């Protein structure tokens, strides 16, 4: 490998060892790793063609993959080789790994789920393509200036992307606007504008390098590169204008998570990547099939939320306008290919487009949507409509065009049936099913937590990495005090490493023996970072009132970004940082309580924080978090959860045991009921002197002395429209935190509970989730075993 790296350095980067930078070394190593992958990748592609196996197409606006180098090394079993080679070349391996920028092509859970699914699809050997957008700028870079969030554009592509193959020959023309002509019962769309979608392929190789799939991301390019006529006329700006316009489509990821931006460019992005993907999969299908009617036997298209829901009308359009099928048959054929995953019940996240806007950009699609809507109405009179009050409702469209609709946790799926899609569920009672989310153990234990991984592998060998339920064997170790001590020691190694990193990045000294209490996720009112902070202030007050008590030392760690236009979320960030300045400087509590908020939370930071956490904050208002996947990552890495009965928390608690989980708060049903009571939040505040005191301090400017009015709006919100019931759950949360304090005092029993979490989390592997999709939705079987045999 050493020689391969030197060769790549010389011939692909044009450097010799004496002049190579960290970047050059990283690229050389990455290219060597990519070379190793290509053979597996080709074999898999060939095998998929050979067996004419059904292929899965996962359409997603987001793939939050983070760094890839460690996946590429460990999935191919090249760790020792790679480390030795870099050592022999006099390079520090970790520096090289950390040189790779995160591919932040997603906002949060939805995008990260797509990335975990890609890993599991490859590990299970299911022929699959991920389809998305190659954003030039991923999720913005966050910094804090005097405690406030600032956003800077993210620039991961300012360096060459090591893993992708550009496919300039794989291009599709994507139309927008224009008009539709009808003659002899046939429609034809004449787009007014068009751009080219160009493919960029990243090979995704699964565990042990047995199978490789493709993540195909589209970039938008102008149809005509450069308007030479304008240029020659001297109009230099006009010459580049169409080029710039086309490129804006894949320029930037919308930074909204579970909130809708409703912008025209967003609709164009959605259509752009969906249309390119559908054309691409049809081309592949037609290359080895003659009969378009066989499409559902060869193609399963999964829509990751409604963002690609235009896939339904687009597929129907191609079947009718280009392949000459009749509308009813086309709709039926499309439906048998399509399935839709719902990720949220929050009304502000449900996509709707004004009919006028959609009709202007996609006139033929609007006609087809009307036809779909009318035919569904004719079959099921009185059913909900796709078009309502001048809006196209993408949820209803996705539902009606899918043969299966799934929720992402047991509770969420039940709520999908009872709330957003209650009427459609009555009409199609078998369509909605559950597929509880999962996480890939390759990244979220094997990769991010070497200390724990090694301990587990010494005990069980390595087969747990692709068969996570084997972790249950660790249950037998709970009475083995030596093993529990080793488990505890692994956690401590991670906590020391994190303490050092926080010392460097946040300039705050923290005690590795304190409880590390971590809440990392997008900043959103329903996730209730605010409640966590209020509890922190209340704890601080009590520590100051009773300094003589034996308090459990805590480090409160926050991480996450707010959407740039979400002002309440930005206020919450500001308040966390303001409070941290005051509390961290207090000599009375200095050894007992610290707040840290490292800026620019991303996948790589999660990989650092999760292995070092003792307590995982999963405290959303019950009924609001569809699933959560961070909750799974923490529990797998031996953190205990403090949480509500929300999303997958419910199932996590069932698996790890209620004695190993800190439950608090109202249930989803109680939440709905409480909201109906007038003045519920004032009543809750009245009843809690502790909460009243904290709100008083914030209101009076205790944490913002330079600007005492800064948080009047925020406190007022809690009094008058506490939509997420922070005030109602506060006391229960505070009391449960004190139970956690007491439990933490016995390190031995805490470590045993933590071990029981790790041992019980096998079911939450995304391998299990993907098997569920394959069995219940796609009707496809893993082919990895087949390949392994032939190898």
- Cα–Cα dist 317/720, whole Å: 49
**Ramachandran quadrant class, 191 (left: phi over 0; alpha: psi -120 to 50; beta: rest):** beta
626 forms part of the interface with ligand GPK (CB under 6 A): yes
Strands 193-205 and 212-222: antiparallel
Site string for ligand GPK, 53-82 (x = CB under 6 A): ------------------------------
51 secondary structure, DSSP code: T
257 forms part of the interface with ligand GPK (CB under 6 A): yes
255 forms part of the interface with ligand GPK (CB under 6 A): no
The CB density around residue 151, as the number of other CB atoms within 10 Å, is: 15
Task: Please state the closest distance from residue 256 (CB atom) to ligand GPK, in A.
Answer: 8
149 forms part of the interface with ligand GPK (CB under 6 A): no
108 forms part of the interface with ligand GPK (CB under 6 A): yes
- Cα–Cα dist 601/591, whole Å: 26
Of 97, 327, 349, 371, the residue at the interface with ligand GPK (CB under 6 A) is 349
Rounded to 5°, the CA angle 620-433-253 comes to 55
Task: Please state the closest distance from residue 342 (CB atom) to ligand GPK, in A.
Answer: 8
352 forms part of the interface with ligand GPK (CB under 6 A): no
493: buried, middle or exposed (CB in 10 Å: 19+, 13-18, 0-12)? middle
Task: Tell me the residue nearest to ligand GPK as measured from the CB.
Answer: 109
Strand locations in 398-535 (E)? 404-407, 432-434, 515-520
Q: Helices 529-545 and 567-584 meet at what angle, rounded to 10?
A: 20
651 forms part of the interface with ligand GPK (CB under 6 A): no
Of 130, 628, 638, 782, the residue at the interface with ligand GPK (CB under 6 A) is 628
Among 54, 393, 428, 521, the one annotated catalytic: 521
Task: Please state the closest distance from residue 266 (CB atom) to ligand GPK, in A.
Answer: 12
Phi and psi at residue 308, to the nearest 5°: -95, 25
Interface positions, 477-536, toward ligand GPK (CB under 6 A): none
437 forms part of the interface with ligand GPK (CB under 6 A): yes
**Ramachandran quadrant class, 509 (left: phi over 0; alpha: psi -120 to 50; beta: rest):** beta
Task: Please state the closest distance from residue 155 (CB atom) to ligand GPK, in A.
Answer: 23
Rounded to 5°, the CA angle 620-624-627 comes to 85
Site string for ligand GPK, 316-345 (x = CB under 6 A): ---------------------------xx-
Among 527, 574, 653, 710, the one annotated catalytic: 527
- Cα–Cα dist 611/634, whole Å: 7
Interface positions, 365-424, toward ligand GPK (CB under 6 A): 408
Task: Please state the closest distance from residue 423 (CB atom) to ligand GPK, in A.
Answer: 21
- Concerning whether 633 is annotated as a catalytic residue, the answer is yes
Of 647, 762, 782, 784, the residue at the interface with ligand GPK (CB under 6 A) is 647
- Concerning whether 477 is annotated as a catalytic residue, the answer is no
What SS3 class is residue 150?
Answer: strand
113 forms part of the interface with ligand GPK (CB under 6 A): yes
Two structure tokens written together for 748: 């031995």
Strands 179-183 and 615-618: unpaired
- Concerning whether 521 is annotated as a catalytic residue, the answer is yes
Task: Please state the closest distance from residue 143 (CB atom) to ligand GPK, in A.
Answer: 23
Task: Please state the closest distance from residue 516 (CB atom) to ligand GPK, in A.
Answer: 23
- Concerning whether 522 is annotated as a catalytic residue, the answer is yes
639 secondary structure, DSSP code: P
- Concerning whether 527 is annotated as a catalytic residue, the answer is yes
Are 567 and 617 in contact by the 8 Å Cβ rule? The answer is no
Among 633, 653, 655, 771, the one annotated catalytic: 633
- Concerning whether 549 is annotated as a catalytic residue, the answer is no
- Cα–Cα dist 786/791, whole Å: 9
Residues of this chain that bind ligand GPK (CB under 6 A): 107-110, 113, 257-258, 305, 343-344, 349, 408, 437, 625-629, 647
Residues noted as catalytic: 343, 521-522, 527, 629, 633
């Amino acid at each position: 490998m050493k020689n391969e790296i030197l060769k790549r350095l010389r011939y692909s980067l044009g450097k010799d060892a004496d002049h190579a930078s960290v970047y050059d070394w990283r690229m050389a190593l990455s290219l060597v790793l990519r070379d190793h992958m290509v053979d597996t990748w080709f074999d898999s592609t060939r095998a998929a063609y050979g067996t004419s196996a059904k292929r899965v197409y996962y359409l997603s606006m987001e793939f939050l993959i983070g760094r890839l180098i460690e996946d590429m090394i460990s999935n191919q079993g090249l760790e020792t080789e790679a480390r030795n080679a870099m050592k022999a070349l006099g390079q520090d391996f970790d520096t090289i790994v950390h040189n790779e920028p995160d591919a932040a092509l997603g906002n949060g859970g939805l995008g990260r789920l797509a990335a975990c699914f890609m890993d599991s699809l490859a590990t299970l050997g299911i022929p699959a393509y991920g389809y998305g957008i190659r954003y030039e700028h991923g999720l913005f870079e966050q910094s804090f200036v005097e405690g406030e969030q600032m956003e800077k554009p993210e620039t991961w592509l300012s360096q060459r992307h090591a893993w992708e193959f550009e496919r300039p020959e794989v291009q599709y023309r994507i139309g927008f606007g224009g008009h539709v002509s009808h003659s002899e019962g046939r429609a034809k769309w004449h787009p007014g504008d068009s751009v080219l979608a160009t493919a960029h392929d990243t090979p995704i190789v699964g565990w042990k390098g047995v199978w490789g799939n493709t993540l195909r991301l589209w970039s938008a390019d102008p149809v005509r590169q450069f308007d030479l006529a304008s240029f020659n006329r001297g109009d230099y700006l006009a010459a580049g204008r169409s080029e710039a316009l086309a490129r804006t489509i894949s320029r930037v990821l919308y930074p909204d998570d579970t909130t809708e931006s409703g912008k025209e460019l967003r609709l164009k992005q959605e259509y752009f990547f969906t249309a390119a993907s559908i054309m691409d999969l049809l081309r592949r299908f037609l290359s080895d099939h003659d009969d378009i009617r066989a499409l559902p036997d060869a193609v399963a298209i999964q829509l990751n939320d409604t963002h690609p829901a235009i896939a339904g009308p687009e597929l129907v359009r191609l079947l009718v306008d280009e392949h000459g099928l009749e509308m009813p048959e086309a709709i039926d054929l499309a439906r048998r290919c399509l399935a839709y995953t719902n990720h949220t019940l929050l009304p502000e996240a449900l996509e709707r487009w004004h009919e006028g806007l959609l009709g202007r950009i996609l006139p033929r699609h609007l006609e087809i949507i009307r036809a779909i809507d009318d035919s569904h109405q004719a079959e099921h009179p009185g059913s909900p409509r796709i078009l309502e009050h001048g809006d196209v409702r993408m949820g209803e469209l996705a539902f009606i065009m899918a043969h299966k609709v799934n929720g992402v946790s047991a509770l969420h799926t039940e709520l999908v049936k009872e709330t957003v899609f209650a009427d459609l569920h009555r009409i199609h009672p078998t369509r909605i099913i559950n597929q509880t989310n999962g996480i890939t153990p390759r990244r979220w234990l094997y990769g991010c937590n070497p200390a724990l991984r090694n301990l587990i592998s010494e005990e069980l060998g390595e087969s747990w990495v692709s068969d996570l339920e084997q972790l249950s064997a660790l249950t037998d170790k709970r009475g083995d005090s030596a093993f529990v001590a080793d488990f505890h020691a692994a956690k401590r190694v991670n906590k020391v490493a994190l303490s050092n990193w926080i010392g460097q990045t946040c300039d705050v000294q923290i005690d590795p023996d304190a409880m590390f209490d971590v809440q990392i996720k997008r900043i959103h009112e329903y996730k209730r970072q605010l409640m966590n902070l209020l509890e922190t202030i209340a704890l601080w007050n009590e520590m100051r009132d009773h300094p003589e008590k034996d308090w459990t030392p805590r480090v409160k760690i926050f991480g996450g970004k707010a959407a740039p236009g979400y002002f309440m979320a930005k206020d919450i960030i500001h308040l966390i940082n303001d409070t941290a300045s005051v509390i961290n400087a207090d000599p009375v509590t200095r050894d007992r309580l610290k707040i840290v908020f490292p800026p620019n939370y991303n996948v790589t930071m999660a990989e650092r924080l999760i292995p070092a956490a003792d307590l995982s904050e999963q405290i959303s208002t019950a009924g609001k978090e569809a699933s959560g996947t961070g909750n799974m990552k923490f529990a797998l890495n031996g953190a205990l959860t403090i949480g509500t009965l929300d999303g997958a928390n419910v199932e996590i608690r069932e698996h790890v045991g209620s004695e190993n989980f800190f439950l608090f708060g109202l249930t989803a049903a109680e939440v709905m009921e409480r909201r109906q009571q007038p003045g519920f939040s004032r009543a809750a505040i009245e009843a809690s002197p502790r909460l009243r005191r904290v709100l008083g301090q914030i209101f009076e400017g205790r944490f913002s002395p330079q600007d005492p009015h800064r948080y009047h709006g925020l406190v007022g919100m809690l009094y008058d429209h506490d939509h997420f019931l922070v005030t109602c759950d506060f006391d229960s949360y505070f009391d449960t935190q004190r139970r956690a304090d007491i439990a933490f005092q016995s390190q031995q029993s805490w470590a045993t509970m933590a071990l029981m979490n790790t041992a019980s989390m096998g079911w939450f592997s995304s391998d299990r989730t993907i098997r569920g999709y394959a069995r219940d939705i796609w009707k496809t079987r893993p082919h990895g075993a087949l390949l392994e045999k032939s190898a």
